[in-house]
Every structure is written in structure tokens, then in C-alpha cells.
Chain A
Amino acid sequence: MRELNAVLTIAFRDLTKLLRDRIRILAGLVFPVIFIGVLGGSLNANIGKGLGFDFLTFVFTGVFAQVFFQSSAAGVISLIQDREEDFSQELFVAPVSRYSIIFGKILGETLVSSIQVAGILIFGFIIGVEFSAKILSLLIPAGLAASFFGGAFGVMVLANVGSQRTMAQIFPFVLFPQIFLSGVFAPVENFPPILAFLSKIAPLTYAVDVVRYAYYSGSPELSKVTAFGVTTDILVMLALFFIFLFIGTFLFVRKERNR
């Protein structure tokens, strides 16, 4: 009970902060809109014919997963900012498990990314992505899974980087290649061998795949837009989630204390 209370406390702090930060809410919408509307739209107009699936919808589902993943990862990494503003001391003298602190952070950032993604869903609806009640009932849990997974990935990054400055330099390198390798913009099935290999070790790939299964389940395009099989995706994500969470938290706490 005690730990659960702590998890909720930490999670709501992130949500409260987001709701006071209108610029961040807006910025969280701009990139996906550019990715889906501008990049997806222009690619769709040029090469989107004859693929056997609607390219805009394909990009939409990819970005949907990517934003959940990325927003949570970046949010968890903001613990570095807490440290530089000395707030993390208050967190770390508290008599609660370090895992509760980190898990609370992941949960909080999942609440935050859910709000960001709600805007993207509305945008998808406006540009004509088709939704049914059944699709939404699968898509939303898949997105939340991508978010928890992204948060755990963030812990792992956090455990290995010292300062906010280093983070600003490194984060694009751990994120952008993943976006292009994970099949957000092109099916990973047709990748040449090296890229196919890299794609398999990029965690985001599995989050994108799971979201595509959720959206396309039961439709004839399913085999054209997915890669590994939904069971594989879920197993990989579950395994990596716990590995990232436990090893990442352990390393992070050790790095903070053993100075």
C-alpha cells in the first residue's frame, strides 16, 4: 500500500506539471503532425500507390507507437533535470523503494504521453484514418504497452548518462536511428540484411509492430504491414521491460550513490 501510494504520488506530479506546460503539450503535437501529415502525406502522394495498403494509415500507426515510446522515454530521462535542479534529493531520501520511484516515473510519463497521443488520434481522424470501436479497444492498450516499454528504455539510457548536457547530445542518436529502423515509415520486411539486423535489435521495432497488429488485426493487409508475430512482440517487450527496469534502476541508483 505504502509503495503504491508513492507510485501514484510520483506519477501525478508529472501529470500536474504537463497540464501547466501548454507549450510542451503543443510541441508534443507538432512533430507527429509533421511526420504524419507532411512526411507521410508527401510520400503517400509519390510512392504510396500499388503497395497494397494505405500508406498514410501505415505511417499513422507507426507514429502512434513511436510517440508513446519516445514521450515516455524522454519523460523518464527528465529525472536528470530533477537532479540538476536539486529536487531529486527530496526523492532519494524518501523511505520508499527505488523501484517504486522509477516505476512511478514511468507511470506518470505514460499518463503524460496518453494526453499527447489523444491529440494525435484526433488528427488521424481528421485526415481520414479509419477507426472502429474494435480498433480503438486494441490500439489504446497496445499504445500504453509501447509507452511503458519506452519508459523502461528511458531508465536504461538514464543509467548510462551523467548530465543533462550529455543527454541532449546522446538522446538523438539512440532515438532517431530507431525511428527509421523500426518500420515507422517503411515495412521492415523488405530491409536489406544489415538494416534488418539492426531493426531487430531496436526496441522500438517491437512496439511499432504490436501497434500495427492491434490496428490491422482481422484486415487483409495484416501480413503486409507486420513483421514478427504478435506473440513474439509481446514476449520480447515483456522481457526487455523487466530487464531494463531492474538493471536500469540498479545501475542508476548505484551511479547516484557511489560517487
Chain B
Amino acid sequence: MIPIIEVKNLVKRYKKADENAVDGVSFSVEEGEFFAFLGPNGAGKTTTISVLTTTLSKTAGDVRIAGFDLDRHEKEVRQRIGVIFQNHSLDKNLTAEENIRFHASLYGLHSFRPFYSLMSKDYKKRLAELADVVGLGRDLFKPIKSYSGGMKRKLEIVRGLMHNPRVLFLDEPTTGLDPLSRKNVWSYLQDVRKKDKTTIFLTTHYLEEAESADHVCIINHGRIVAYGTPRDISHEKSLEEAYLEIITNEYARA
């Protein structure tokens, strides 16, 4: 079977930088997998996600997502991915529903109408289902300005899933969320993964979130320093202990 994400010798050097932010990274992710991409601040995680999600050009290397080459089939790749960015990317001047409607129309799921009441039945149904699952049903028509961080995050996840992406990229999705919100967000994401075989590509600093991953990939200074199942990596310790050991050893060697 062809992997859903295939990265070969990916290199990214920012303009005016004298070091590669991502320095020859290769890995692949199978369809339906829960893949955790870990590493300290500045290791190159967000850079890698930005390249994979077509918002940043790469310096060298090959990337294929859902079988499509990133250089030649940008639009096909974009259609098949959902992205939850590190920073909230909602329009604060609109209501929650307007943000979702914007997304759904932009992705060609439904014809755009200037008012909710004029939108298609399918849209209303799908929106109501998704919103109920994350518990935003009653707040959908409120302005984003009145939303808490946790509500914004849930809304972004709803938005990212509207077009049924094959891969969902999550860049530190639960940073700044309270434990209960985090738990809710995760149980929802795991349901989606099981139900739709959506591949989850996660970066996080909360290592317990990566415990249930199928594979964990740890990068530092733009290079992969460990790859395997959480069990392979942790050797009877917790993933967190193993992670800290790997990163500390790296620094000691440097």
C-alpha cells in the first residue's frame, strides 16, 4: 500500500539563515495512522508542517500526500488535507457559523449564500452534527469575539473536518486548553480517526498525548533523532522520560 504521507530528504533553509531549519528529513505515514511529530521549540516541527500543508516552499526533497506530488499537484493536496494551525486562524469579525460557511464555500462543498437561512440543507445538517459532537451547538451564531480559547479550538477542528480531509494536520492543537477541553478534543479526534480512517499528524509538547500514537518521530535541529512506536522509544519508561533522555543526550553530544 502507498503511504498517505511520503517525505524524502526534505530540506528547508529560510532566506538569510545560515543553517537548515529542516535538514534532510525522511519519513512516511500510513493511511489512518496516528503520527506524532515531537521535538523541542525550534526543532523544525512547524516548518515541516508548513511545507507539508503547501504554505511554505521547500528548499529540496520530495513530498507526496495522498499520492499527489506537492510540487505538481498543490490543489489536489490542499483538497485532501485539513489543518489546525498553532495560532487561532478564525476571523474575529464574523460569527462562528460564518467562519464555517466561509470554509465550506471556499472548499466547494456548498454554493455560497450570503445568509445562513439560504444555505443548503446538507450544509445545515453537517454543521449541526459536527457542532453537537464538540458541544458548540448553542454558540454557533455567536461572534468569535465571545469565544474562549477552547471553543475556538473546537470550532477550528470542526472547520478542518468539514471537507472530510484524508489527513488532519494539528500543530500543537491543545496548547493553552484546560485539561477537560483537552480531553474532549482528543476523544473527538480519536472517534473521527476510527470512524473515517482520517490520518492524524500531530505536533505537541504534551507527551502523554503522543502515548497512544502508532508512531512517534522525534526531531532536533532539523534532523530525526528517533523514530518508532511509543513502546520502542520508551523502553519500559514513560514516553516523557525517554524523550527527555534523547534530547538531553543530543545536547550533550553537540
Task: Select A95's contact among B55, B79, B101, B114, beta carbons within 8 Å.
Answer: B79
Per-residue CB contact flags for chain B residues 105-128 toward chain A (1 = under 8 Å, else 0) read 111100110100000000000000
Given the interface pairs A16-B98, A93-B81, A257-B56, the reply to whether A9 lies near B112 with Cβ below 8 Å is yes
Task: Across the A-B interface, give the 3 residue pairs with the lowest CB-CB distance, nearest first.
Answer: A95-B78, A9-B105, A95-B79
Complex interface: chain B residues within 8 A of A93 (CB):
53-55, 78, 81, 83
In chain A, residues 88-106, which have Cβ atoms closer than 8 Å to a Cβ of chain B? 89-96
Complex interface: chain A residues within 8 A of B92 (CB):
85
Most chain B CB within a 10 A radius of its CB, from A5, A10, A92: A5
Measured CB to CB, the residues of A under 8 A from B are 2, 5-6, 8-10, 12-13, 16-17, 20-21, 82, 85-87, 89-96, 256-259
A-B contact pairs, 19 of them (CB 8 A): A5-B105, A5-B106, A5-B112, A6-B105, A6-B106, A8-B112, A9-B105, A12-B114, A13-B98, A16-B94, A86-B89, A92-B55, A93-B55, A94-B78, A95-B76, A95-B79, A95-B107, A95-B108, A258-B57
Task: Select B108's contact among A6, A87, A90, beta carbons within 8 Å.
Answer: A6
Bound complex: CA A8 to CA B112 (Å): 7
Bound complex: CA A232 to CA B81 (Å): 47
Interface pair B94/A259, CB less than 8 Å apart: no
Task: Decide yes or no whether B245 CB sits under 8 A from chain A.
Answer: no
Given the interface pairs A9-B102, A259-B15, the reply to whether A89 lies near B108 with Cβ below 8 Å is no
Task: Decide yes or no whether B41 CB sits under 8 A from chain A.
Answer: no
Complex interface: chain B residues within 8 A of A258 (CB):
15, 57
Bound complex: CA A89 to CA B114 (Å): 22
Complex interface: chain A residues within 8 A of B91 (CB):
13, 17, 82, 87, 90
Give, as a whole number of angstroms, the nearest-CB distance from B14 to chain A: 6
Interface pair B56/A94, CB less than 8 Å apart: no
Complex interface: chain B residues within 8 A of A86 (CB):
85, 87-89
Bound complex: CA A2 to CA B78 (Å): 14
Interface pair B56/A90, CB less than 8 Å apart: no
Bound complex: CA A258 to CA B114 (Å): 35
Bound complex: CA A66 to CA B81 (Å): 42
Most chain B CB within a 10 A radius of its CB, from A2, A8, A16, A87: A87
Give, as a whole number of angstroms, the nearest-CB distance from B250 to chain A: 26
Interface pair B107/A259, CB less than 8 Å apart: no
Task: Select B55's contact among A9, A13, A257, beta carbons within 8 Å.
Answer: A257
Complex interface: chain B residues within 8 A of A8 (CB):
105, 112
Bound complex: CA A94 to CA B53 (Å): 10
Bound complex: CA A145 to CA B103 (Å): 29
Interface pair A259/B56, CB less than 8 Å apart: yes
Bound complex: CA A20 to CA B144 (Å): 13
